[in-house]
Structures are given as C-alpha cells and as structure tokens.
C-alpha cells in the first residue's frame, strides 16, 4: 500500500502531534498492512521538497509539526524502516522529485529552504511551485537530496509517483523558455528537450542508486496511459485526456524497454469494463497493454489500484460493488507479468470501504505471508 504524507492524507493524521503519537500512528499503519496480508509499504518521505528524515539538504516536512523545518523530535524514516522490517514488510521510500509546494508563495517556505536560497530554480504553475526540470543543477540537487536517504537507511526501494513535468492546467504556461534557450539547442522542439530532461533524471538516478547500494530497487508509478493508440500505434486502446509521453514529458514505456528501472506501477485507476465499451480508459485494456510492455525486459510490473474510489461519493456505480477490486486481481492473475498490486492508499486499507479490502484479501491473499 501507498502511505501518503502530503497534506496529511494518510499519516500523520494531522500536523503537530507528539512524537509518540506520530510513531504510534505509523506503527498502526504497518500493523494494518500485515493484517491485510500485504508485503510492502510505500512511504512518502519527500512530499514537497522536504524530508521525513534529518536531511542535510532539505527542511523537515511541515506535515509532521505544522512548521516546515521544525525538528519533530524523532526520525520517521529510520523508524519506518526498522519497524517494517521487524514485521516482514518491505519499506519503499517514496519521493516526489520536483514539487516544491502546493501554493505559489515562496515566503511561506522555511527561510533556509533551497527554493528560497535559489529562487531561479523555481517556477509557479497551476497554483503550485515546482523546481525547473530543465536546469542541470536542479536535477543534480534533487538526486543528491534523495540519494541521502539511500545512503543512510536500509530502504528496499526508491519509489517515484507520476509527477514529472506538471499535469497540464488550462490557460497556464510552464515558463521554462529561458532554460530551453540555454540548453535546448540540440532538440527539434521543446517537448523533445523536456522528455530528455526527464529521461536524464531517471537514467542518472538509476545509475547512482546502483553505485550506492546495488540491492536497492528503483520503481516508478506513472499515470496509467503512456500514449493513446490514436496518437501512436504502440499506445494503448484508450482515449485518455492525459498521455504521459506528451503531457508530462515522461517516456514511461521507454524506461521499461531500456531497463532503466526495476519495477513499474502504472496507476490503472479505472474500472474493468467490457472490451467493446468506448471509454476513456479501461482497466481490462490497460493491464494487458502494460503486461506486453514489460514482457522480456526483466522489469517487474505491479498494478496501482484506486482503492480510494471504492464507495466514494460521485463515483460510478461499479465503484460501489465491493467485488470490483477483487475482480481486478482476478484479471491480473491471467497475466503472468503482473507481479502484484499496490493500493492507494493506507487510510482506506485500514478503513476497508464496503468490505472491499476484506474481500480481496479473502479471495487472493489468504495463506500468504
């Protein structure tokens, strides 16, 4: 399961709790993972260019104490690794490479935040602040910040989610023209240059992880559609409004085919529909497509599951069927390339909406662990 800390989504339940209370809540999530027969927890330790460990590069996360840069009085990542391993769980450290803040006011960042020390690194877009992926010094810095955790802790994997270049926002422009003029001369257009920037981040990080600790895996969890078939014959039979290759400048299929990463977890957050249904994206179409992408590459495939949609207001009727996720795992079982599933996210794993988690555990995980 993913254990999200951004905006206190899963943990801590709110900022400013005592160290003992934070620790107890964290351990409760790990115990829940064991009770649900899961074998790995993906803990978000760098949600917004900050840290859930004593980092020499970035400030303590505001989601711990309510104040960015304030020492919470304990080491969440160190504790998570130790307590997860004591329970037979893998601990994957989840980092967000470029997101700086979920607002656009640099003065709200801690005074010594790298984004304030280096204001030229930062761009506002869509109501948020981002590091500029087109600057070589930014790519090096974010790698240094993440690799610090690899060096210091016995984590099982480095994990990224789906935020590379930001998701498109209508009417807004990501103002990286100056960086493109400086560094993009060898590329046919800005999109190709941006994709190369993301490729460099992935390739360089993979190389550095392997040099630092060979046994630490590198996994990425992208949006579930690489490209639609109407855009590219290699793409999936989907009609999604976002395509990672074109909109996030992330060649997720290419990273798998080139073997740069150890595992991929496409967020296939849609319903499993009959194959003749004309829908923007279909779980029953995308899982086989991703299985074909990884076949023969040595890259492991796990499927990201939208547990948060089960029983949620405003969702289509199928998400109110407690068996929907279990049917997803039935479908995955027909594809030997699918090595497992990751559930978003920890809060719902514990809450068990509509009994859907209990059902999929009974149907698929009994006797495991």
pLDDT band at 167 (very low <50, low <70, confident <90, very high): very high
**How many structural domains is the chain composed of?**
1
CATH of the domain at 218: 3.20.20.80
Q: Is residue 307's pLDDT more than 80?
A: yes
317: left (phi over 0), alpha (psi -120 to 50) or beta: alpha
Entry pTM: 0.97
Q: Provide the token pair at 17.
A: 């709790």
Sequence-separated contacts (24+) of 232-240 with Cβ below 8 Å: 236/281, 236/285, 236/286, 236/289, 237/282, 237/285, 237/289, 238/280, 238/281, 238/282, 238/285, 238/286, 239/278, 239/279, 239/280, 239/281, 240/280, 240/281
Q: What is the pLDDT of residues 4-14, one digit of tens each?
A: 999 999 999 99
* Mean pLDDT of the 216-241 span: 98
Question: 60 by DSSP, 3-state: which?
Answer: strand
* Mean pLDDT of the 270-287 span: 95
Residues 274, 276, 281, 283: is their CA dihedral positive or negative?
Answer: positive
Mean pLDDT of the chain: 97
| Full DSSP string of 301-358 | EEEEE-GGGTT-TT--GGGG-TTHHHHHHHHHHT-TTEEEEEES-HHHHHH-GGGHHH
C-alpha span between 175 and 352 (Å, rounded): 43
* Mean pLDDT of the 41-46 span: 98
Q: Is residue 368's pLDDT more than 80?
A: no
Q: What pLDDT is stored for residue 287 in this prediction?
A: 98
Q: Is residue 257's pLDDT more than 80?
A: yes
Q: Which residue in 53, 63, 46, 1 sits closest to 28, CA to CA?
A: 1
Q: In this structure, what are the phi and psi dihedrals at residue 337, rounded to the nearest 5 degrees?
A: -70, -25
Q: What pLDDT is stored for residue 369 in this prediction?
A: 63
* Mean pLDDT of the 53-78 span: 98
Q: Provide the token pair at 355.
A: 């009994």
Q: Provide the token pair at 239.
A: 């009609």
pLDDT band at 367 (very low <50, low <70, confident <90, very high): confident
For residue 49, the surrounding DSSP H or E stretch is none
CB-based contact 181:190 (threshold 8 Å): no
Q: How many percent of the chain have pLDDT more than 90? A: 98
Q: What is the pLDDT of residues 79-131, one digit of tens each?
A: 999 999 999 999 999 999 999 999 999 999 999 999 999 999 999 999 999 99
Range of the domain at 222: 2-365
């Amino acid at each position: 399961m993913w254990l999200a800390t951004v905006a206190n989504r899963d943990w801590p339940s709110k900022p400013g709790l005592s160290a003992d209370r934070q620790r107890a809540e964290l351990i409760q999530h790990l115990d829940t993972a064991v009770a649900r027969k899961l074998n790995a927890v993906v803990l978000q330790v760098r949600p917004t260019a900050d840290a859930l460990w004593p980092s020499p590069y970035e400030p303590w996360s505001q989601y711990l104490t309510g104040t960015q840069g304030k020492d919470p009085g304990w080491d969440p990542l160190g504790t998570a690794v130790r307590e997860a391993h004591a329970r037979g769980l893998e601990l994957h450290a989840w980092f967000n490479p470029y997101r700086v803040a979920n607002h656009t006011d640099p003065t709200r960042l801690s005074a010594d935040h790298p984004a304030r020390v280096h204001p030229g690194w930062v761009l506002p877009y869509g109501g948020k602040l981002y590091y500029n992926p087109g600057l070589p010094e930014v790519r090096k810095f974010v790698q240094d910040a993440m690799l610090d955790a690899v060096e210091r802790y016995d984590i099982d994997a480095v994990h990224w989610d789906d935020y590379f270049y930001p998701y498109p926002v209508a009417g807004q422009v990501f103002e990286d023209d100056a960086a493109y003029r400086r560094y993009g001369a060898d590329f046919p257009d800005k999109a190709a240059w941006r994709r190369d920037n993301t490729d460099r981040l992935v390739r360089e990080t993979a190389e550095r992880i392997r040099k630092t600790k060979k046994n630490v895996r590198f996994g990425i969890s992208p949006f579930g559609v690489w490209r639609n078939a109407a855009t590219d014959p290699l793409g999936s039979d989907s009609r999604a409004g976002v395509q990672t290759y074109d909109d996030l400048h992330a060649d997720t299929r290419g990273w798998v085919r080139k073997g740069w990463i150890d595992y991929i977890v496409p967020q296939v957050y849609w319903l499993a529909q009959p194959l003749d249904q004309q829908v923007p994206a279909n779980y029953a179409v995308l899982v086989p497509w991703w299985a074909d992408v990884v076949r023969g590459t040595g890259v492991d495939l796990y499927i990201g599951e939208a547990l948060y949609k089960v029983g949620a207001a405003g969702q289509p009727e199928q998400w109110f069927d407690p068996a929907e996720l279990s049917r997803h795992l039935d479908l995955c079982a027909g594809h030997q390339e699918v090595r497992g599933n990751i559930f978003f996210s920890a809060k719902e794993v514990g809450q068990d909406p509509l009994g859907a988690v209990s059902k999929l555990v009974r149907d698929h995980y009994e006797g495991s662990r």
